[in-house]
Chains A and B, each alone.
Chain A
């Protein structure tokens, strides 16, 4: 005999009365499987409260996090990619762009803005991974150029938050030369002795690592971000064995001497402010 007896027969709730759990109420950490409410996750700046996994966030979130009173003026906001090569792979580049613009509500993979950080003028550029993997094409290069020009005009520091899979293949030679272009602008900034702080977030790879992301007067990163030149899969294929644990993480890159500091997202504004003080006092 069973220990419990059903008092009702089967499921009696009618379809109309069924209570649905709305989507997106919960966040499950991909690293440690901890489950928190999306609200708590957001309040914790999209960082897992248990393992401190920093979830990818976009320019909107970083601008809100860093600019005083969440106020800023966007630079070159209306720039969009041309298709100089008429590039077509499995679908035309133009279509990919349109789809990405529609899906993300963004014009390209980087936004630049001027505002105040602890009452001091700064120009911040921030990449958006949601837009074709944060890939660098002509628009990313041009907006970094605009940001650098604005920093020179205001005689203020430049911060670039990187988050990119690398160069945008669909702009081929043009995208390669954005590495040169962005580096060129940084030499002008350097000649004016204006500080440039590079913030590397998950992931920063390829042509972005091999240009502006590694050229900061200070290079700082969020914890456990993937940072490298070649992607882990390519390196694995090259060496033919498994990669050591923690390979190409922020901590690994810091140990090998290419980062100044690893900063938790909640401390990012305070640390940037502190460094700006060091440069300006």
Chain B
């Protein structure tokens, strides 16, 4: 059963018409081929049109679409099924919202880490909705340090509504865990590629988001706060999420224009959920490309450039000096 978002209703209508037509065709009485061709063309056109004009808030909705592929799906695709998940932060427990492990990309070992959302109600709870606890960030760091030790590149896959804001998360130092990751990823002496595949919410996303190439899929968002929370804080109401999404400039296009990310990975027409294989292919191609390009870079250079890149982010101005009064 496919899920359709509010603005996808025209797409849903056509798909339903096609299905009905196919039922009629199964009876064998009428030739439906011409009509079917027309409808399929109409479907493609409608998808293209709707997806060419998505508002920021609609993109946020697409980024959370329940049929979208999640982290493990991409990792499986990138590694052609050679991925082996490993567990635990060696201190507290194994965080199911953060996954990680080795895989082979074109015969070379790569370390993968990423937030994992659940694919159904039961799994969503098991994965804590992709909201990692401190042990998740510490597991990610352990694996990245392991990769560094054996000189293997790191790929992080980002998809989280935020770091988990629970009581135990505070007790175990959520802030420290994220801060430590920023610090250590910044000086990791192997290539790091980060891909936002869904939601990139705030510190929880950035906690595995320091890389030489930070890429976003076309219909994802990345910002300091979710549009809903931003609306509730600045407008003191939940009703301004569309305005907040607009104001936050959180889409891939805006983030690239502001030089806060390094590139955009296109999604198939109709979003990653309309063509999962296609989305995986696109992500794989980009990741392979950057792994190859970065493989030869000297580690000192890599770290130096990474630090420089993040240090250049931000916009400040000089205050106009107050004109001296003439005496």
The interface of chain A, by Cβ under 8 A from chain B, is 78-82, 84-85, 87-90, 107, 137-139, 141-142, 145, 167, 169, 171-181, 183-188, 190-191, 206-207, 209-215, 228-230, 234-235, 238-239, 243-244, 247-248, 256-258
Q: A89-B247, A209-B175 are in contact. Are A82 and B317 (CB under 8 A)?
A: yes
Q: Tell whether, in the assembled complex, residue A84 and residue B258 are in contact, meaning their CB atoms are under 8 Å apart.
A: yes
Interface centre among A176, A188, A206 (most CB of B within 10 A): A176
Pick from A80, A173, A210: contact of B178, CB below 8 A.
Answer: A210
A and B contact pairs by CB, cutoff 8 A, 29 listed: A80-B317, A85-B247, A89-B240, A89-B244, A138-B315, A167-B225, A169-B248, A174-B260, A176-B206, A176-B222, A179-B182, A180-B206, A181-B310, A183-B186, A184-B186, A184-B310, A207-B202, A207-B203, A209-B176, A211-B182, A214-B173, A229-B163, A229-B174, A229-B178, A230-B170, A238-B164, A247-B167, A256-B171, A256-B173
Q: Which B residues are in CB contact (< 8 Å) with A191?
A: 187
The interface size of chain B toward A, counting residues with CB under 8 Å, comes to 57
| Complex CA–CA separation, A90 to B232 (angstroms) | 12
Q: Tell whether, in the assembled complex, residue B224 and residue A172 are in contact, meaning their CB atoms are under 8 Å apart.
A: yes
Q: Which B residues are in CB contact (< 8 Å) with A178?
A: 313-314
Q: Tell whether, in the assembled complex, residue A179 and residue B203 are in contact, meaning their CB atoms are under 8 Å apart.
A: yes
The interface of chain B, by Cβ under 8 A from chain A, is 163-167, 169-176, 178-180, 182-183, 186-187, 202-203, 206-207, 209-210, 222-225, 230, 233-235, 240, 243-244, 247-250, 254-255, 258, 260, 306-307, 310-311, 313-319, 321
Question: Shortest beta-carbon distance, A142 to chain B, in Å?
Answer: 5
Question: Shortest beta-carbon distance, A99 to chain B, in Å?
Answer: 15
| Complex CA–CA separation, A268 to B73 (angstroms) | 52
Q: A180-B310, A183-B186, A230-B174 are in contact. Are A173 and B315 (CB under 8 A)?
A: no
Q: Tell whether, in the assembled complex, residue B233 and residue A229 are in contact, meaning their CB atoms are under 8 Å apart.
A: no
| Complex CA–CA separation, A173 to B259 (angstroms) | 10
Question: Shortest beta-carbon distance, B137 to chain A, in Å?
Answer: 10
Given contacts A88-B247, A138-B315, A179-B182, 13 further A-B contacts (CB under 8 A): A80-B319, A137-B314, A167-B224, A174-B313, A175-B224, A176-B202, A176-B206, A185-B311, A209-B176, A210-B175, A212-B179, A230-B169, A238-B164
